[in-house]
Amino acid sequence: MKRHIIYITSIAVILLQSVLPSCREIYRHEPNIAEDVIVVDGLLSDRPGPHLIRLTGIQMIETSDPDNPHSPVNEGIPDYIRGASVIVADDAGNQFIFNEESPGHYYSDSTLRAVEGRSYSLHIITSNGHVYLSSPQQLPGPVNLDTLIAMNTYRERLMLSTQGTYFNERVHGLEIVANIRGSGKNRPLFRLVPQYLLLYTQTFANHQNFHWKKLYMPDNININMEAYEKVSATVRNHEVTFMSLREQDLYIDREDDFNPHRRILLLSLFSLNEESWNFYSSAHEQIHSEGRLFDPMAKQLPSNIYCDSDPGRLALGLFEVSRVTKRTFVVVETPWEDFYPLKETEDLHHIPDFGKTFIDPPGFWVDR
Amino acid sequence: MRVPFNLATLLLLLVPLFAEQGAGQTLRQEPLRLDELIILLEKKHSTRIFYRQEWLQESAAGPEILDMPLERAISLLSRSNNLSVYRIDNYYVLAPGSDPASRYSTPDETTVAIGDPLEYGRYPIVTLSGTISDGQTGESLAGAVIYSQRTGTGVPAGPDGHFSLNLPPGEHRVSISFVGYETSGRRIYLYSPGEFDFELFEETLQLDEVTIMAQRAEANITRTRMSMISLDSRMLRELPGSMGEQDIIRSMSLLPGISTVGEFGTGFHVRGGSADQNLVLLEEVPLFNSSHLFGLTSVVNPDMVTGVTMTKAGIPARYGERAASVMDIRIRPEEVTSTSLTGGIGLLNSRAHLKTPVFSEKIIFSAGARTSWSDWLLGRIPDEDLMNSSAGFYDLTGTLTFSINPKNTITIFGYNSADRFAFAGNSDHAYGNTLGSVRLNSIAGEKFSFSINAGFSNYNYEVIESDELRPSAAYRLNSAINYRSLKSNFMYFPDPDHNIEFGFNAIHYDTDPGNLTPYGPGSDIIPVAIDSGQAVELAAYVSDNFALTPSVSIEAGLRYSRYFRLGEATVYIYEQGMPRSAASITDTLHFGANEIVKSYGGPEPRLGIRYILDGESSVKASYNRIHQYINLISNTSVIIPSDTWSLSDTHLKPLKSDHYAVGYFRNFSNNSVETSVELYYKRLYNVTEYKEGAQIILNERPEADLINAKGHNYGIEVYARKNSGRLTGWASYTLSASIRRSGEEHPENKINRNEYFPSNYDKPHDFSANLNYNITRRWILGGTFAYSSGRPVTLPELYFYHGNTMLVRYSDRNAYRLPDYHRLDLSLTLLENLRTDRRGKGHWTFSVINVYGRKNAYSVFYEKNDRTAGTRSSLFSLYKLYIIGRPLPTLTYNFTF
């Protein structure tokens, strides 16, 4: 439903811009806020560990380069927060220590996994003595992927050329939608993280090489939003992802002898509790309010982290306790143009992001 | 329990009948002073008569003059006082003069009334006599010809320039011509035998400027009401143009205490109130969306407007419904004696207005239309998406006025507007207003009149997403509000300084907040229909405007309104102290059709006091309380067409406004300069504010996203206006504040921790000036300058990452402000020449908007930077959108036939 609102705002501005010589430019802004803010990005799931709690700081919104007002800024990466004590405690009195294995990255051991019905709290003591806690997070019940459908279609994207002019890009690809069912009679709360795994071959010096490459989908948060789809416990035709079939979207080094072998969808399904869902839905709304020109009501992100030692101190982020299901589907090519079946295969989430073998295909190679 | 709606309706219908019986009595037969008589004439005929007290002799006249037709009455008054009568549109100006024939003239048509109106109809043929002379030298023009187009007859002037032409009484258009001179045309109204001297000129003449005030000059001092701006048709013509035409509603934003949120933008804001707090009445029927094309222009055809009254404080008891202001726009022409066609051809749109009398002026027909060129413009923009897009609007307005007899008039009014826009052939958006009314105006006695108005107003919005690529996702979404009303208003004038007004209103609201339906046979969209709502608002009022002493006048009124939210409805009961959400629902109540869901109401006192300090200054004070039972639910600072109207219900309480104001008014230079200083304070209860990221479309529980808040608006307004001379115009400055505070208990519902924050409409400094300088009779230079503080905004302050996703943290609500706004517009107008024989007349206006190219911020938003063919990063920046970034010239031709 956001879509048409965006169209409304778009058409309004396009109209104004066309009738009038309007434009936009980078806005200079001097925020007034302390920079010492902790951001928690942590996930504890029902899958075997190690689990990661990442602690970072924030970056202030910066003004643009005065000499180049059209250049985007805000490219800085927030600093990692090092030397913190990070512990997860459950409501049974157990405590699990997370160790810092790289700056700002705190890992549990591999034995830790969340248990259904149990609550977990995050305890952080930073090197400067501030104590941060999360509200107790309970592992939610499962959600089930009923069906997955891929439809042959096109998408249009407005692109900006290197010459600075807009052009409409029509992309051929697969629209993948899912029907997802909750465990009870209530609307299921979930998020999806799809990945696109491509198996392909390339020939070099008369030898066929076997390549694989994981392509991350755009960084939009895929979550079932509240709206008209909440009429039942099953979310129907939920958009999972759009899998481009264009070769230039695959970023292959040498496209001349590129020979695609299999297109595979790696799908992670996260069953969320209410607080996590609120965070992701807010993030989703925030991302989708980008470019809305009529000052939509700002969507602040709720956080389940607070500073216990100084309640007025700002803390951001989410300590998420979720049930995670990882599944893998192969796109089966058929003579029918409009429909591509998806066939489930062994889970390939664990394979490296990219790689190749010579002469023989890797063990996970999916045959035709 | 059901609403006694039928009973109320019956009462509304019955009261006029009783009133009619009472009105037949003669209430007073003593002679009246002339100024008393004039006031009564004004009220009776809904016109204005302008004069100076010293011009009137203290001769008395009986009230029988009130039974005469207006022109006869004015003629009688003017003759007995040796005054001339000038008629400007629908107003009359009495001025000293010994002309034996009273003149009724308009600047546009130069109509001259000749003879005695009292003798109209007495002669089948009357003789028009006079002389024709050189207008510059006074030399008689022997042989000059005067010719009546109506009868096809003419006579030459004799050696002394004298002529004598026999014509039937009534209206004629005569032409006077002579070799070497420009032919002159004149519209005359011949009542009885009379004389008139005509002049011809070798060249076009530039007359010395004559400025005739269309309002009584000292009216701003003497009237009881304050914070009121009344524009008649002459003043409307002097309003600054926008996109080639006068924009009534947008021009109001140049007046003190009235502003808009941006360069354009639907609606306006009065003394810190939101746009939905303004009652914009078009022929007494409310408009729910007053803008075309997102505020580029107003939905009211400016050619048709005959008067506008804007009241910001001390709102009379006859008005209610909205908390901040009333803008009463009148389009019904009062008197039309001949057919005329006016219009304009502009950059954005063109317009036309036809008005004509029918059946010997028993019926007056007035109709106007506007349509846009924006489709044509879009098609010529070198952008594929825009070329495949479309946008346009039209509006049609019409009135039919039946004069049953001199005392009773029925007016039928109709209005329809439509806007539509489509982006790249995918989404079709449309919205429109449809209004209609039937009104009876009746003079039921010398001192009693009433009107009954039955009206309706509909606003609807629709979007069709016809995604050809994904027909399964194609949908249609629409929303609407319907308003039906029956209003009666009664006026009783015990004496010229005493006016009692009372009446009854019954309003029925019917909202359709949203319907989602699949579009096309292949759509998989699940239909969703948000429960429609209906409500009834009943109100009764009485108001008394009287002079306590010669210096002190009081307008006191009381309105009592009662509101009933009716079923069918589903009401969710939420856990006390918890944010309203699906999780906190503890009970669900269902109400049947027409069952009362919730009722609100209360008295709405009104008070206005004026104390005249001396002949040139006065002090006024006012107070009003208003309950507003409908709100425009909008989660944006700028109103957009998809915003929905919501009725007060169990959770959404009615807005209540207490408005106090005091002002000092002083005129200078023989009333040619008006000044005023007004202080106001407004207390708002149950202001609707919004949760972060509030959703308004297809929200089954909008109350879950709304927050109840309190508000304070206060400020000081300084206003100066120069009415006459070559330089005219006004300047205003407002220093104000508009603040809000949520009163919620749960932290999730607290806005800025329940601390005060500036509302979206808080502009501490607001200055504007609109000046017109008559370089010559035909050339007018106009300028408008506006400055205001930037409006409050909520901006992102920092960003962080969750996974690989960049997210932002916003500031407190409205913690920052946009940059200050200022803009200068200039215009140069070439009026028609003085050759009055031309059938058509027109004038050109060349204007430059935003002369110095200020890039005023319309909004600030953040967006990930555009992906290019070479870069696919997704960094973001804050962007400022400005609408007019450089000088924008426009040229418009306006015509009259």
Q: Write the pLDDT tens digit of every residue in B856-881.
A: 887 777 766 544 444 434 456 777 77
Highest-scoring range by mean pLDDT, B57-71, B111-125, B139-153, B668-682: B668-682
Please give, rounded to a whole number of angstroms, the shortest distance from the CA of A24 to a CA of chain B.
4
Q: pLDDT band at residue B386, thresholds of 50, 70 and 90?
A: low
Name the token pair of B117.
């109106």
**B532 φ, ψ (degrees, to nearest 5):** -75, 160
* Chosen from A3, A4, A79 to mutate, greatest number of chain B CBs within 10 A: A4
Residue B666 has pLDDT above 80, yes or no: yes
Least confident of B350-364, B370-384, B704-718: B370-384
Give SS3 for B378.
Answer: helix
Highest-scoring range by mean pLDDT, A288-297, B154-163, B210-219: B154-163
Least confident of B52-61, B226-235, B403-412, B556-565: B52-61
Average the pLDDT over A352-364 and give the result: 86
Q: Which long-range contacts (CB under 8 A, 24 or more apart) does B830-835 make?
A: B830/B778, B830/B779, B831/B777, B831/B778, B831/B779, B831/B780, B832/B778, B833/B204, B833/B778, B834/B204, B834/B205, B834/B206, B834/B207, B834/B777, B835/B182, B835/B183, B835/B184, B835/B185, B835/B204
CB of B330 within 8 A of CB of B308?
yes
Note whether B690 contacts A297, CB cutoff 8 Å: yes
Selected residue with higher pLDDT from B620 and B894:
B620
Residues of A in contact with B878 (CB under 8 A): 26-27, 29, 61
Report how far apart the first and last C-alpha atoms of chain B are (Å, whole number): 59
* Chosen from B261, B372, B423 to mutate, greatest number of chain A CBs within 10 A: B423
Q: Write the pLDDT tens digit of every residue in B29-42.
A: 455 677 777 877 77
List of residues 6+ apart from B305 with CB closer than 8 A: B233, B236, B248, B329, B330, B331
User: CA nearest B804 in A: which residue?
Assistant: A219
Q: pLDDT band at residue A319, thresholds of 50, 70 and 90?
A: very high
Note whether A15 contacts B374, CB cutoff 8 Å: yes
State the DSSP H helix or E strand holding residue B806, giving kind and residue range, or none if neither: strand B805-810
Note whether A21 contacts B885, CB cutoff 8 Å: yes
Is the pTM higher than 0.90? The answer reads no
Selected residue with higher pLDDT from B691 and A95:
A95
Q: Write the pLDDT tens digit of every residue in B273-330.
A: 988 999 999 999 999 988 887 677 788 888 888 888 899 999 999 999 999 999 999 8
Note whether A11 contacts B803, CB cutoff 8 Å: no
Note whether A162 contacts B870, CB cutoff 8 Å: yes
Instruction: Write down the pLDDT at residue B738.
Output: 96
Average the pLDDT over B547-567 and give the result: 93
Note whether B801 contacts A294, CB cutoff 8 Å: no
Note whether B693 contacts A286, CB cutoff 8 Å: yes
Name the token pair of B12.
């509304």
Selected residue with higher pLDDT from B130 and B111:
B130
Q: Could you give the CA distance from residue B27 to residue B496 in angstroms, rounded to a whole number?
A: 13
The verdict on B217 touching A (C-beta cutoff 8 Å) is: no
Least confident of A193-207, B68-82, B185-199: B68-82
Residue B488's closest CA among B505, B469, B463, B466? B505
* Chosen from B375, B634, B802 to mutate, greatest number of chain A CBs within 10 A: B802
The verdict on A3 touching B (C-beta cutoff 8 Å) is: yes
Residues of A in contact with B858 (CB under 8 A): 22, 293
User: CA nearest A318 in B: which residue?
Assistant: B802
Selected residue with higher pLDDT from B376 and B333:
B333
Q: Could you give the CA distance from residue B48 to residue B334 in angstroms, rounded to a whole number?
A: 11
Note whether A297 contacts B888, CB cutoff 8 Å: no
Note whether B427 contacts A4, CB cutoff 8 Å: yes
Residues of A in contact with B816 (CB under 8 A): 29
The verdict on B867 touching A (C-beta cutoff 8 Å) is: yes
Give SS3 for A359.
Answer: coil
List of residues 6+ apart from B526 with CB closer than 8 A: A228, A229, A231, A236, B516, B518
Residue B379 has pLDDT above 70, yes or no: no
Average the pLDDT over B810-835 and give the result: 84
Note whether A295 contacts B294, CB cutoff 8 Å: no
List of residues 6+ apart from B289 with CB closer than 8 A: B266, B299, B431, B433, B459, B639, B641
Residue B600 has pLDDT above 90, yes or no: yes
Give SS3 for A362.
Answer: coil
Name the token pair of B732.
């205003």
Residue A9 per-residue DSSP state: H
The verdict on A16 touching B (C-beta cutoff 8 Å) is: yes
Instruction: Write down the pLDDT at residue B469.
Output: 54
Residues of B in contact with A298 (CB under 8 A): 692-693, 794, 796, 810, 813
Q: What is the interface pTM, i.e. ipTM, of the complex?
A: 0.86
Q: Write the pLDDT tens digit of every residue in A16-33.
A: 444 444 477 778 777 777
Residues of A in contact with B422 (CB under 8 A): 11
User: For strand B325-330 and strand B278-282, is the pairing parallel, antiparallel, or unpaired?
Assistant: parallel
Residues of B in contact with A29 (CB under 8 A): 795, 816, 860, 878
